[in-house]
Amino acid sequence: MISNYRTALVTGASSGIGEAIVRSLTEHGLIVHAVARRAARLQKLANETGCIPHVLDLRDTDALYHTLNPLEVDVLVNNAGMGRGFDTLFKASREDIDRTLETNVIATVHVIKAIAPGMIERRCGHMIHIGSISGLYPLTSSIYGASKGAIHLLSQNLRKELVGTAVRNTEICPGRVHTEFFETAIDDPDKQKAMLDCFELLQPTDIAESVIFALKMPRRVNINTIEIMPTEQAVGGFITKPIQ
């Protein structure tokens, strides 16, 4: 058992980083509630790991509270996210703007609201939020970057609010990870391929291992932020272009 935690909840659990985290937590002996929209994939994961599946669109706030309020959760992993409108803000559709911000920001806040009070009452819990380097540095996607920037400050402010509750709070900010993210965020197959094939990307299991690292630290230790990058990816510098 990790830090005497018994139960966990992982959002966005049906593939990629979320799936890897569910597998890792169940391997470490936790009872894991896995939340995602895709019922077939979630059931397959449940059959393979023993996790408890919850088919749920987190943008449905009433259903979110109905499903999550009754649960007693020691470890919360806010992983659900998307990147529609990934190209540029001024080319994005209204629907893609809403989907990205509602999933990445609004749903995350409501999940915390549903789960955190129980952790605080029991004085036992650890919240982990999967952010992004896009929330720490200016990159190229304004909508996605804004959503992950919101998660970064949300996590930083939660650290202040949670002092004295014994509940820990961690943000994990990956660089590029080999998942389905770019397939759903980018419509152009050539651009998808370019994002995935340019260098050796992180794997979902790398992020899962960073979650376990934060959880395994002694209760006196809070890992505030983890920034984890592929070896061949770095951020910084500047871009100049002539006016077209």
Domain ranges of the chain: 7-228
Give the predicted TM-score (pTM) of the model.
0.92
Residue 50's pLDDT is what?
A: 98
Residues annotated as part of the active site: 144
d(CA 127, CA 57): 20
Q: Nearest Cα to 175, choosing from 128, 216, 142, 210?
A: 210
Token pair, residue 234, equals 């770095």
Token pair, residue 178, equals 């080999």
Q: What is the pLDDT of residues 58-96, one digit of tens each?
A: 999 999 999 999 999 999 999 998 877 777 888 889 999
What is the architecture, at CATH level 2, of domain 7-228? Answer: 3-Layer(aba) Sandwich (3.40)
Q: What is the pLDDT of residues 87-111, one digit of tens each?
A: 788 888 999 999 999 999 999 999 9
d(CA 120, CA 45): 30
Q: Nearest Cα to 1, choosing from 17, 19, 25, 18?
A: 25
pLDDT top residue among 204 and 2: 204
